[in-house]
Structure 1
Amino acid sequence: MPKSGQARVLTQQQQCDLFQAIEQHRHKEKNKAIMQISFKLGLRAQEIALLQVKEVARLNSSSSDFTLLEIMSLPAAYTKGSDAMNRSKSTYQRNRISFDTESFKKVVKQIETLAKSNAKINPEDFYPPSKKHRGKARDLPMVDKELRTALIEYLRYRISVKSFLKPSSPLFVTQKGGPYSPNTLQEHMALMLRDWAGIEKASSHSGRRSLITNIIHRQKKSVKIAQKIAGHVNSSTTLIYEEPPEELIDHALRNLT
């Protein structure tokens, strides 16, 4: 089982169960495409929510047909911590701050000086600068057959219900016709995984964790490859995924001597 707070890594059978469950619900073309991107490219929910048509396909002059791209070029602005298109704003809220010893002494002296002069003291003026996450662009080959089939079927459906699409149109839209917010898409993906497919402790991050676990543990690829696909700035973040898949743990416990 995953550690507390981590999304569950799905077995191949669980992934099959998920896509079979999607077939039984409305908007199956869209939902299959969303989950294929999650499991085959490892995108975060925010990144999927911010995708535009131009990231996966080239529309023809009349926008009534398209050519699916070979490579998805994911802009840095879409990645975790970014403020892409003003649709994914993250507010930094500091619950804990830390100083080294010398910096703390300087802050104390500054406060003492202000206090002696009866000056107004604003605690936020003494907070150390916060580090902002920088997005990282990445190119992801769209080579998986099931992924490509799902995207083609979905785009054909989109064109059939809305004959005119622009390259900048949101790739995925809600029932009301607007773009998904990251939070709304996270909830929708969790609904498909937990309620429709009945997979406990799965979340919108399960596809991403399942893909990276597959690359590191089953394919035995280097962490550098997994890091490139995941778009992690530091390899130490990718190493968190170096955790044995659930089915290996299950197999070990079933074969005790």
Structure 2
Amino acid sequence: MSKTGQARVLTPEQFAHLLHVIHEHRYPEKNTALVQISFKLGLRVQEIALLQIKDVAEFGPENSGQRSFRLKEILALPAAYTKGADALKRSKSTYQRRRISFSVHDFDQLVRHIETMAKAGAEINPEDFYPEVKKHRGRSRDLPMTDGALRSAIEEYLSIRLAKDPSLKKSDPLFITQKGGPYSPNTLQEHLSLMQRRWAGIERASSHSGRRTLMTNIIHEQKKSVKIAQKIAGHVSASTTLIYEEPPEESLAGALIQVGKEYIS
């Protein structure tokens, strides 16, 4: 069940340090909101990249040129968001198949079918016999936005966005790059890793650290059931959630320190 190279689980002290150093760089409001959503809701990078303003807030009436908004209580994440950037047609898939597999029964049937076609002199194209590609099944989920720091970060960031551009639409991306366009999942992945590794100096932290930190806290610290963790993570299968039952690095370090105290020489 264990995987090598897992993203680092941040301690509360490391998370606080990350939030502190973010304010030493440009766009602290946006970056704080990004980190809060990653660590408090456990969204995947592609899900964060696809978020629209309407997913987290509702616009109110315009008053003297100022737009008002109200933050929602629940983030209703559409199933399509879990399918990556192609969910909103921002990119096209370049997937190429390298391996295919068949059951023994299907392979036997396939060989007999090809044999019949060959005897009849029919043209045989190997790709016609490939099994269908299994499409990733997205899963929608409702995530309560109850954390005070999370709500404050999103509200502060949205207030700045609206002050700069009162014409914002509810369908606009929640997070935008320096150039004003939406983040691609790859660009956002690099940015989240940059903040944690370069800015905060947290070794082996990555864009997945927020998600893994949240899941690890739910399972190990809060002692919640795997079903609850599965629902928050949006996993189709509970077996995927079980990956997060792996103990965090802090627990391993504590165990090794204790051994060192008992076996001195």
Bin of the TM-score, shorter chain as denominator length: over 0.9
CA contact (8 A) 1:81 1:135 kept: no
Task: Look up the match of 1:126.
Answer: 129
Q: Deviations over 1:93-145 (max 9, x none)?
A: 32222111121122222333334444332222111222111111111110111
Task: Look up the match of 1:97.
Answer: 100
Q: Secondary structure at the match of 2:61?
A: coil
Please tell me whether residue 109 in structure 1 is matched to residue 106 in structure 2.
Answer: no
Shift in CA distance, 89/61, structure 1 to aligned 2, threshold 3 Å: farther
| Percentage of pairs with the same residue | 66
Gaps of 5+ in 1: none
Q: Secondary structure at the match of 1:61?
A: strand
Please tell me whether residue 13 in structure 1 is matched to residue 16 in structure 2.
Answer: no
Tell me how far apart the structure 2 counterparts of residues 234 and 25 of structure 1 sit (CA, whole Å).
39
Please tell me whether residue 202 in structure 1 is matched to residue 176 in structure 2.
Answer: no
Task: Look up the match of 1:22.
Answer: 22
TM-superposed CA distance for 1:17, in Å, is 1.9
Residue identity in the other structure for 2:187: T
Please point out which of 145, 160, 164 is paired with 1:161.
164
Please point out which of 60, 70, 76 is paired with 2:79.
76
Tell me how far apart the structure 1 counterparts of residues 228 and 163 of structure 2 sit (CA, whole Å).
38
Task: Look up the match of 2:152.
Answer: 149
CA contact (8 A) 2:85 2:184 kept: no
CA contact (8 A) 1:82 1:90 kept: no
Q: How many residues align?
A: 256
Q: Deviations over 1:74-94 (max 9, x none)?
A: 111111357321125444432
Pick the structure with greater CA Rg: 2
In the superposition, the TM-score normalised over structure 1's length comes to 0.93
Task: Look up the match of 2:33.
Answer: 33
In the superposition, the TM-score normalised over structure 2's length comes to 0.91
Q: Secondary structure at the match of 1:64?
A: strand
Shift in CA distance, 108/54, structure 1 to aligned 2, threshold 3 Å: same
TM-superposed CA distance for 1:8, in Å, is 1.8
Tell me how far apart the structure 2 counterparts of residues 210 and 199 of structure 1 sit (CA, whole Å).
13
Tell me how far apart the structure 2 counterparts of residues 28 and 38 of structure 1 sit (CA, whole Å).
15
Task: Look up the match of 1:226.
Answer: 229
Gaps of 5+ in 2: none
Tell me how far apart the structure 2 counterparts of residues 235 and 12 of structure 1 sit (CA, whole Å).
27
Tell me how far apart the structure 2 counterparts of residues 82 and 184 of structure 1 sit (CA, whole Å).
12
Q: Secondary structure at the match of 2:67?
A: coil
Tell me how far apart the structure 2 counterparts of residues 108 and 165 of structure 1 sit (CA, whole Å).
59
CA contact (8 A) 2:85 2:185 kept: no
CA contact (8 A) 1:81 1:133 kept: no
TM-superposed CA distance for 1:147, in Å, is 0.5
TM-superposed CA distance for 1:164, in Å, is 2.0
Residue identity in the other structure for 2:9: V
Tell me how far apart the structure 1 counterparts of residues 96 and 234 of structure 2 sit (CA, whole Å).
24
